[in-house]
């Protein structure tokens, strides 16, 4: 029995393992000017679980409809569950995690949650290409980061009208990222690490040894609460060096919100991986192509 992965764009995937369909995040609807699958969350007709990395709209928007249409249960942070309850999902259809829990998704598949970090979204306006080296911004207080974040909001307010309408529709009243989580799925075919934003705690990542790692490649990487002094490609390679998986899949690297995101050139990441993690192969996914990732 093989384990496969369908990419829906941004950091959303359908993981199919041991007869289960598990959505990793649920952001399927896109801004009108963003290329993608052309699907909406309402097109998902089969799902057993939705496992959510963090509460921002580009991860969570759509989970309320997939849960309603399929009866899928949601696993996510307390903030994710709060937003989904407001959106009409019954509380007994959801499981709150904060890191440290292992949830049995079936007799054969389990998922363990771990605390993580969000990318330093406050440090940039439009995202940069993954080989651009970013330095500085160390040791800032919450208030100083917040002041920088206001500039990002001004940037988003300047997006074209149809994108702004999409943002307004997708906002579900989140109070920030809600605490980013990473997950490790244990399946009969092997283990899969899942991350939906470019941040981590080093002491947690270095003890995980997944067979395949899904690693976010967008924005300014966050290492133990501070922005990486280097490029996003170097950040991704550092994470893969800590995890040492056989295969790595990128997430969040498509142009999901033109004017803010960028269409990531994967070659610099490939080059850094060859240097930092030569034993790991990059598994290139197109949209919804049912790529076999295990065994």
By CB under 5 A, name the binding residues for Zn ion.
56, 197
Smallest separation, CB 54 to Zn ion (Å) = 5
Query: What are 244's two structure tokens?
Result: 């040492």
Output 11 or 109, the one with its CB closest to Zn ion.
11
Burial of residue 45 (number of CB atoms within 10 Å: 0-12, 13-18, 19+): exposed
Query: What are 183's two structure tokens?
Result: 């997950």
Output 116 or 197, the one with its CB closest to Zn ion.
197
- Are the CB atoms for 247 and 212 separated by under 8 Å? yes
Output 55 or 187, the one with its CB closest to Zn ion.
55
Smallest separation, CB 56 to Zn ion (Å) = 3
- Are the CB atoms for 231 and 238 separated by under 8 Å? no
Output 169 or 275, the one with its CB closest to Zn ion.
169
Smallest separation, CB 265 to Zn ion (Å) = 22
Residue 43 phi, psi dihedral angles, 5° rounding? -80, -10
Smallest separation, CB 53 to Zn ion (Å) = 8
Smallest separation, CB 262 to Zn ion (Å) = 16
Output 187 or 195, the one with its CB closest to Zn ion.
195
Closest-by-Cβ residue to Zn ion is 56
In Å, what is the CA distance from 221 to each residue of 47, 161, 199, 200, 225?
31, 29, 5, 8, 10
Q: How far is CA 141 from the centre of its chain?
A: 25
- Are the CB atoms for 73 and 49 separated by under 8 Å? yes
């Amino acid at each position: 029995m093989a384990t496969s992965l369908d990419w829906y764009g941004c950091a959303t995937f359908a993981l199919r393992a041991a007869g289960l369909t598990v959505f990793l995040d649920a952001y399927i609807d896109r801004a009108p000017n963003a290329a993608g699958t052309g699907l909406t969350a309402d097109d998902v007709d089969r799902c057993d679980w939705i496992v959510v990395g963090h509460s921002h709209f580009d991860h969570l928007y759509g989970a309320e409809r997939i849960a309603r249409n399929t009866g899928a249960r949601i696993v996510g942070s307390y903030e994710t569950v709060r937003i989904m309850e407001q959106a009409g999902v019954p509380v007994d259809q959801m499981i709150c995690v904060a890191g440290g829990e292992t949830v049995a998704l079936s007799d054969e598949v389990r998922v363990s949650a771990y605390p993580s970090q969000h990318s330093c979204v406050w440090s940039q306006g439009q995202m940069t290409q993954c080989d651009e080296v970013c330095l500085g911004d160390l040791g800032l207080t919450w208030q100083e980061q917040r002041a920088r974040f206001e500039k990002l909001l001004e940037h988003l307010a300047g997006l074209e009208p149809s994108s702004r309408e999409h943002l307004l529709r997708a906002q579900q009243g989140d109070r920030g990222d809600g605490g980013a989580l990473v997950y490790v799925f244990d399946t009969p075919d092997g283990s899969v690490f899942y991350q939906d934003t470019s941040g981590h705690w080093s002491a947690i990542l270095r003890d995980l040894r997944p067979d395949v790692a899904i690693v976010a490649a967008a924005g300014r990487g966050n290492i133990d609460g501070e922005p990486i002094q280097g490029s996003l490609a170097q950040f991704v390679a550092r994470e893969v060096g800590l995890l040492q998986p056989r295969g790595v899949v990128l997430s969040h690297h498509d142009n999901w919100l033109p004017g803010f995101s960028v269409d990531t050139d994967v070659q610099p990441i490939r080059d850094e991986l060859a240097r930092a993690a030569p034993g790991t192969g990059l598994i290139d996914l197109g949209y919804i192509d049912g790529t076999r990732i295990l065994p």
